[in-house]
Amino acid sequence: MSRIADIAAALAGYDPQALSVGGVQTFLAQLVAPAAVAEREEVALREALGRVLAEDIVSPVSVPPHDNSAMDGFAFDGAILRDDSPTDASIELRVVGTALAGAAWRGALDAGDAVRIMTGAVMPEGLDTVIPQEFCKVDGDRVRFPAKVLRRGDNRRFAGEDLMQGQPALRRGERLSPAALGMVASLGLPSVPALRRLRVAYFSTGDEILSLGEPPREGAVYDSNRYTVFGLLTRLGCEVLDLGLVRDDPAALAATLQRAASEADAIITSGGVSVGAADHTRAVMQQLGDMAFWRIAMRPGRPMAVGLVPREQAAPRPGSAVLFGLPGNPVAVMVTFLAFVRPALLRMMGCHETAAAPAPLLRARAVSAIRKKPGRTEYQRGFVQAVAGALPEVRIAGNQGSGVLSSMVEANGLVVLHHDQGNVAAGDEVDVMMLEA
């Protein structure tokens, strides 16, 4: 039994002509191999944004390395603070020195002494509390402040409060965010061990498609999909291979798919997966690989193909490339990519299961009524705005036609109307998949 047939047989209620969104996601989680890339490389920190860690990063130091002050103020021994002090009680201390960030103060201390201290400066030995300077009155070498404005230990950061030496700072399979880059830098590490980038080849199909720079002609449209897919893949951190525009010629399609399989881990096509007379892509895919062709209960983006295209024996790497055949309409390409292809590629990139899961959904309140029939999942372009003290609000963004990119540009999220959901009234709560900026 083929890999596709094997997965299909294991899915309850599998119907390729009426597949639910959840069914597609479950199928793809079975089809794509986690960590399809095994090769690793050491990557300079400035080049590591979006890369996937090949191994745990263990902290070589404690962060912070010393107890330090969280405030500009005066450090003292908090033992002098008492819970039973009168409300109007004040404390007066003698200031004997100054601790600066990067220049620890090492002088001798007597009872009732304080040290002026700056944010980040090492806490002098024997002192455990910092009174912020805005609460203080300073007169020469004396400082006075209300006793009830703080408790012992306030405004002190402990050594290792962020990370202890020897602890895992980041785990294998983590996709490095800007915050993660900062964390690695805080450990003094100039580079990280990363899996190589996932290679994804993509191309558009169809005689009706014009390349940029060609003169307009009747019945033809410019190839927007290649640039949309390029943007989606680049933002995901993939190594992209643009194979251009392939005409409705079976031989050319077969040659391009074979080249893509030999050079890439995954292949994305747009157009040609419906049942039109000139849609040769479907037939060629079926001849070359182990394929499934779906009609998904969703809008936009009903037709889709997935499968495995074997590499030729002479290819540098054995096995097969995973193929995602997306619809031809521009918005349908984006929606099917975000709903299905993105999680699958993250899984192939080596991300751990949480990072490779479908995007989390935000709850928002619909500004106006939305028409919806049960029996399919709809992704409507929307614009989400924050509301003080309440759920965010979402309004539908312009024309919802699957070929209308202007409303996708206007949107910052997709309103997800689930399979069994019906009409939405103004004020009802809905789920939103936020689009990345």
Residue range 206-245, pLDDT digits in tens: 889 898 999 999 988 999 999 999 999 999 999 999 999 9
The mean pLDDT of 95-106, rounded to a whole number, is 94
The mean pLDDT of 255-274, rounded to a whole number, is 92
pLDDT at position 283 is 85
pLDDT at position 1 is 61
pLDDT at 256 over 70: yes
The CATH class for the domain spanning 3-37+197-349 reads: alpha beta
Question: What three-state secondary structure class fits 321?
Answer: strand
DSSP per-residue codes, 323-370? EEEE-SSHHHHHHHIIIIIHHHHHHHHT--TTTTSPPP-EEEEESS-B
Question: 362-434 — its CATH code?
Answer: 2.40.340.10
Q: What are phi and psi of 296, to 5 degrees?
A: -95, 140
pLDDT at 2 over 80: yes
pLDDT at position 369 is 96
Residue 60 per-residue DSSP state: S
Name beta bridge partners: 379.
416
The C-alpha atoms of residue 351 and residue 173 are separated, in whole angstroms, by 4
Within 13 Å and on the Cβ side, how many CA atoms surround 425? Answer: 2
Task: Of 26, 73, 113, give the one whose Cα is nearest residue 292.
Answer: 26
The mean pLDDT of 342-352, rounded to a whole number, is 95
pLDDT at 277 over 60: no
34-73, pLDDT tens digit by residue?
878 889 999 999 999 999 999 999 999 999 999 999 999 9
pLDDT at position 43 is 98
The mean pLDDT of 16-29, rounded to a whole number, is 95
Question: 68-157 — its CATH code?
Answer: 2.170.190.11
**Does domain 41-63+161-194 sit in CATH 3.90.105.10?**
yes
The C-alpha atoms of residue 245 and residue 281 are separated, in whole angstroms, by 13
CB atoms within 10 A of CB 50: 18
Q: Give ranges for CATH 2.40.340.10 in the chain.
A: 362-434
The C-alpha atoms of residue 6 and residue 52 are separated, in whole angstroms, by 30
Q: Show the tokens assigned to 87.
A: 């409300």
pLDDT at position 316 is 67
Q: Give ranges for CATH 2.170.190.11 in the chain.
A: 68-157
When the pLDDT of each residue in the chain is averaged and rounded to a whole number, the result is 93
Side chain identity at residue 410, one-letter code:
E
pLDDT at 437 over 80: no
pLDDT at position 279 is 62
Task: Of 399, 404, 392, give the one whose Cα is nearest residue 431.
Answer: 392
Would you report the helix, strand and coil content of the chain in percent, each value rounded to 5? 25, 35, 45
Q: Give ranges for CATH 3.90.105.10 in the chain.
A: 41-63+161-194
| Helix (H) or strand (E) run with residue 99 in it | strand 90-99
CB atoms within 10 A of CB 400: 19
Please state the pTM of the whole predicted model: 0.89
pLDDT at position 35 is 77
152-167, pLDDT tens digit by residue?
999 999 999 999 999 9
The C-alpha atoms of residue 133 and residue 76 are separated, in whole angstroms, by 13
pLDDT at position 85 is 77
The mean pLDDT of 126-140, rounded to a whole number, is 96
Share above pLDDT 90 across residues of the chain, in percent, rounded to a whole number:
81
Higher confidence at residue 283 or residue 193?
A: 193
Burial class (CB in 10 A: 0-12, 13-18, 19+), 189: middle
Q: What is the dihedral of CA 212, 215, 221, 223, to 10 degrees?
A: -10
